[in-house]
Homo-oligomer: A and B are copies of this chain.
Amino acid sequence: MFTFESDYTEGAHEAILQRFLETNRVQVSGYGADPFTRSAAEKIRAACEDPRAEVVFLAGGTQTNQLLIDALLRPYEGVLCAETGHINTHESGAVESTGHKVLTLPQYEGKLKAGDLRDWMQRFLRDETREHMVWPGLVYLTWPTEYGTLYSRQELTEISDTAHEFGLKVYLDGARMAYGLVSPACDVDLPFLARTLDAFYIGGTKCGALLGEAAVFPRGGIPAHFLAQQKRHGALLAKGRAVGLQFDVLFTDGLYLDCGRHAVEQALRLKQGLIEKGYTLFLDSPTNQQFLVLDNGKLRELEQKVGVTRWGPLDEGHTIVRLVTSWATPPEAVSELLALL
């Protein structure tokens, strides 16, 4: 049974595994001081057009969020995010475990609005009891969001400008960044993100790597003693090559974007097919996650043949279903899914 449950059901792009084999017996230093990792960082700096960017490789998304948010905040500060933000819902309190409150803003298809951020900050700063509240230090964004949607260049600029006006940093969780960068709806690129944000990560686990994420601190803005902070979080790999080499391959000859492009093409084929068949989409996603409204009977039938994610009930008779493609989704699987529906 094929599954559209998630974008982490397969291994890694084969070019990565081949490169592991080719370089396997090359002896290198540990903890990220190896030539593969250095080369990957260099390529990401080039892709970001930011020669001063610092790049750090980590094993997973929650680890990256937890470490970066903790390193970017002062201990008593909190992080603002849309109420649907991954750190607020599905990371088992990883951010709070480091002592920081997650402060929520309203969400609109997974996105927060600069205007809401401004209102929140103005209300906070007018509040005479604010020293008894959690001081905000950072805005957390996901891109693409948990709903597959994308902030536009203008939206990101407004959010970033507003945040900076109030002394807040902006950090972007790019677990599925490849699927955003290649979307027809996308009007931003890595150099823009590097100019606009204070930190972000380029997701590997869901975008073609076996595991791993690349954290980027633009313009040299890496927190002090970051290596020690990484180690203290249990987030420093002895064999740094295990992630560094993967990003070196992904950022060679545009492989990272190719991985994204394949998935988004298949997702948009699926979306188009669903529309043509008269299905209702829960929202209009331009990336590799599609959200479909299904009659509960139909859903149970479908689940006999193909794996999907139940996102939650819409009403008594209908369920929101998530369908996800990846760098590895065979076009035939999409055709078969459409045939089934």
Contacts and interface: CB of A to CB of B under 8 A. Distances in A.
Interface residues of A, number: 78
A63 B235 contact: yes
A2 interface: yes
- Which interface residue of A8, A25, A231 has the most chain B CB atoms within 10 A? A231
A12 interface: yes
Contacts of A65: 234
Interface in A73-105: 74-76, 78, 89-94, 96-102
Q: What is the oligomeric copy number?
A: 4
Interface stretch (A151-159, A185-193, A203-211, A248-256): A203-211
Given A94-B232, A211-B242, A9 B24 contact: no
Contact of A76 (B92, B100, B128, B134): B92
A33 to B, nearest CB: 11
Interface string A1-42: 011011011111010010011011111111000000000000
Contact of A20 (B12, B62, B235, B239): B12
A67 interface: yes
A121 to B, nearest CB: 16
A320 B67 CA distance: 35
Contacts of A92: 76, 131-135, 228-229, 231-232
Nearest to A89: B133
Contacts of A135: 92, 225, 228
Contacts of A242: 210-211
A60 interface: yes
B234 A235 contact: yes
A81 to B, nearest CB: 13
A9 B27 contact: yes
A65 to B, nearest CB: 8
13 contacts: A11-B24, A11-B239, A12-B20, A59-B59, A59-B60, A74-B224, A76-B97, A78-B93, A90-B132, A92-B131, A93-B101, A93-B134, A96-B96
